[in-house]
A and B are shown apart, each in its own frame.
Chain A
Amino acid sequence: MDYRPGILKVLHAVAGEEINPEPDESLFSSGLLDSFSLPDFVSGLEQEFNVKVPDSDLSARKFDTIEKTEDYLVDKLG
């Protein structure tokens, strides 16, 4: 399954901008996310993909780039 369109949909909604970062570009360094929009990004992913992100996975590093977010969802959902 291609998770990227859904990830970008959530990112655009949280960031308020229709910017598509490079897959390995840090969402924090690029200014698209910060500490306080990250929780919204994660809860948006949970809703978009109907997946529960457990507390043990609540690490900023897991969602730092589009690529890492894709890897996480592949790991969780296959």
Chain B
Amino acid sequence: MAFLRGFGSYLPSRVVTNDELAAACEVEPDWILSVSGIRERRYAAEDETVATLGTRAAQDCFARCGITAADLGMIVVSSGSPDRYCPGPAAEIAKALGLTTTPALDVPVASAGSLIALAMAAQFAEAVGPVLVIGSEIMSRRVERTPEGKNTAILFGDGAGAALVDPAQGFARILGHALHTDGSAAEILKMEDRHLHMDGGSVILQASRKIPNAVKALLERFSVTPEQVGTAVMHQANLNLIQRVAKVAGIPMERFPVNIDKYGNTSSASMLIAAAEWHASRGASPLSGHLLFITFGAGLNWGALLAEPV
């Protein structure tokens, strides 16, 4: 068995507004808002790295859950924008947390990586103990703030999120997950030459079909109706996409926590940052229904994870 025990997050302090970005990309600020739902995003400082952001999110998660790094049985770190390919940020984060023997694995999958890491954590927790999942991204270094790069530059921001998966205690029990990969469309969304390349129309077309299908199949597998989903935490890629998924999946939009207006798309960090904010906002009140995590990204990789109130 595996339980969700808590979350954490870290957002760099520098706020980049649509006004600032619009000037560099030669577009109107209102256009950015209308096509994405984004008002501002955060950019990491020059001396910050994917590992330092991830470490700050981990420390926030420890504080919220009342544990220390020594309590961990494993760390799984998702990032599609690591500063170094190998070894990736997981080892660096473990070192920063003072751990020298705890296994720390990288999941270099970008947006869908934190859900894959959560699913892995749920499988490992009973064997190794509490597993810390981190999604950390510095996407601002992977886009070009120019008129030619506007379609990606307007969307992405930096940040890190964390979740603690525990084998014995938590506020929600993880029931299961659905993970999928379709490499035949890998070219429409990829990190190449240290830059993000995206065929936005095709990505939305693929996501609009694949995500609802995965959600419906997962809910059916556990005999959970869309009405029984109390909260659906989805990768914050685009407000329009979240609204479309809510409609097609039959889950009311008000059950989807949304913070994309403040942080933009922070790739694999976004779902965990949204979860951390949602979890902090509800205080000690019990879950109102099942908890669903939903994601989609490069690979293509997509899927969902379902948990029930304890």
Stretch of A5-13, A15-23, A35-43, A65-73 at the chain-chain interface: A35-43
Contact string against A for B residues 193-207, beta-carbon threshold 8 Å, 1 for contact and 0 otherwise: 000000111111110
Does A55 make an interface contact (CB < 8 A)? yes
Contact check: which of B35, B182, B199, B210 meets A34 at CB < 8 Å? B35
B184 touches A58 (CB 8 A): no
Contact flags (1/0) for B32-44 with A, using CB distance below 8 Å? Answer: 0001000000000
Indicate whether B208 reaches chain A with its CB closer than 8 angstroms: yes
Q: How far is the CB of A18 from chain B (nearest CB, A)?
A: 23
A58→B204 CA distance, assembly (Å): 9
Interface residue A60 (Cβ < 8 Å from any Cβ of B): yes
Count of chain B residues with a beta carbon within 8 Å of a chain A beta carbon? 19
Kindly name the residue among A34, A35, A39, A56 whose own CB sees the greatest number of chain B CB atoms within 10 A: A35
Nearest A-chain residue to B248, judged by Cβ: A39
Interface residue? A28 (CB, 8 A) = yes
Taken together as a complex, chains A and B put the C-alpha atoms of A60 and B184 apart, in Å, by 15
Q: How far is the CB of A35 from chain B (nearest CB, A)?
A: 4
Chain A residue with the shortest CB-CB distance to B240:
A36
Indicate if A30 sits at the interface (CB-CB under 8 A).
no
Contact code string B19-40 (vs A, CB < 8 Å = 1, else 0)? 0000000000000000100000
Q: Which residues of A contact B208 (CB under 8 A)?
A: 39
Nearest CB of chain A from residue B227's CB, rounded to whole Å: 24
* Given A35-B204, A39-B209, A60 contacting B244 (CB threshold 8 A): no
Roughly how many angstroms separate A59 CA and B184 CA in the complex, as a whole number? 11
B202, A55: Cβ atoms closer than 8 Å: no
Total contacts A to B, CB within 8 angstroms? 48
Which partner residue on chain B sits nearest A64 by CB separation? B201
Q: Does A76 contact B (CB under 8 A)?
A: no
Contacts of A34 in B (CB 8 A): 35, 201
Q: Report A-chain residues with C-beta under 8 Å of the C-beta of B241.
A: 36
Question: Which residue of chain A has the shortest Cβ distance to B182 in the bound complex?
Answer: A55
* Chain B neighbourhood of A42, CB < 8 A: 205
B185 at the interface (CB under 8 A from A): yes
Whether B35 contacts A58 by the Cβ 8 Å rule is: no
Q: Is B15 an interface residue (CB 8 A)?
A: no
Measured CB to CB, the closest approach of chain B to A53, in angstroms, equals 9
Task: Tell me which of A28, A36, A38, A59 contacts B188 (CB under 8 A).
Answer: A59
Q: Once the chains bind, are B205 and A59 in contact (CB under 8 Å)?
A: yes
Can you pick out 13 interface pairs between chain A and chain B where the beta carbons lie within 8 Å of each other?
Answer: A35-B35, A36-B241, A38-B201, A38-B205, A39-B204, A39-B209, A39-B244, A55-B209, A56-B185, A58-B206, A60-B201, A60-B205, A61-B202
Give A contacts to B, CB under 8 Å.
28, 34-36, 38-39, 42, 55-56, 58-61
Closest 5 CB pairs of A and B: A60-B201, A39-B208, A35-B204, A58-B205, A60-B202
